[in-house]
Amino acid sequence: MQPVRKAVFPVAGLGTRFLPATKAVPKEVLPLVDKPLIQYAIDEARAAGITDFIFVTAKGKSALEDYFDSSPELIRSLKAKGKTDLLKAIEPSNMASGSISYIRQQEALGLGHAVWCARHLVGDEPFAVILPDDVIAAETPVLRQMVDAYSETSGNMVAAMQTVPSQISNYGVIDVAEDHGRLVKMAGMVEKPPADEAPSNLAVIGRYILSPQVMRNLSAMKPGAGGEIQLTDAIAAEIASGANVYGLRFDGERYDCGSKAGYLQAIVAFALARPDLAGEFRDFITTTLAEAETGAKAAE
């Protein structure tokens, strides 16, 4: 079984939910405490053994590319000032020469199309897909959990989480064939079904390990839900062909940083998890909530 060495990062979206900030700054480089969202995705991929990083971008994403470029002047300045802590902090953004590639998605035709754009760089081997909007706090990074499980199953794998009926129509949803606890063998997958038509409460979130056949499936795909080429349809074709497709109930807390509320929740959670910030930040939150409650009672 071939190891999973390559990961595709679809980052061509306009980030319209974060306008006006994303008019000038790609959503993927918005900071979560003091690291951009994309750095969390890169760190997770590295922890899973990924060595080749493929970014599917679009016009206006130059700041994303610049972030992973070398900064000799900054490094010289930090060294001259003896700021070793800051030098260590920027190390994860340094990518080895040849390890990172960029390819353009010329038209916004959906997630499946974005992944398909990377087909020549992926080649004939299994690959991961990571959506940076989904930031997951976990003791063992989620893609690492998936790679470990994949070593036993091969085929295809998606990250799955239980969700409530009011949110189910926002996700691809798993139709369960066999439930083995953490691993669920899939009988199918439905993209954004109404709550009363959802085959389960297991939603697919932005982590995938896929066989090269999925790229060939995408080549034959027609537009699906929303008039876009859906990655879920290409995975469903794998299930129909009899290939192994599993969902993994991962350990961790997922934050939807593609929404403003989810992004703010992630900032609070990650700041409170930082020993250097937690005390002062917790005091601020406690005081602010108390003042807000007092103000609400006074207004009644």
Q: What is the CATH number of the domain that holds 76?
A: 3.90.550.10
Q: Containing domain of residue 182, as a range?
A: 6-258
How many structural domains comprise the chain? 1
Q: Is the pLDDT of residue 185 over 90?
A: yes
Q: Beta strands 183-191 and 172-180: pairing type? A: antiparallel
Let me know if residue 33 belongs to a domain: yes
Q: Answer whether 0.85 is exceeded by the pTM.
A: yes
Question: 52, 7 in Cβ contact below 8 A?
Answer: yes
d(CA 59, CA 43): 25
Let me know if residue 43 belongs to a domain: yes
Q: Beta strands 245-249 and 183-191: pairing type? A: antiparallel
Question: 165, 201 in Cβ contact below 8 A?
Answer: yes
At 88, phi and psi to the nearest 5? -65, -35
pLDDT in tens, 107-119: 888 899 999 999 9
Mean of pLDDT values over 81-99: 86
pLDDT in tens, 210-229: 999 999 999 887 776 667 78
Mean of pLDDT values over 157-179: 91
Let me know if residue 72 belongs to a domain: yes
Q: Which residues, at least 6 apart from 129, have a Cβ–Cβ distance to it below 8 Å?
A: 7, 8, 9, 10, 115, 206, 207, 208, 210, 231
pLDDT of residue 90: 87
Let me know if residue 54 belongs to a domain: yes
Mean of pLDDT values over 267-275: 95
- For the chain, the straight-line distance linking the first and the last C-alpha, in angstroms and rounded, comes to 65
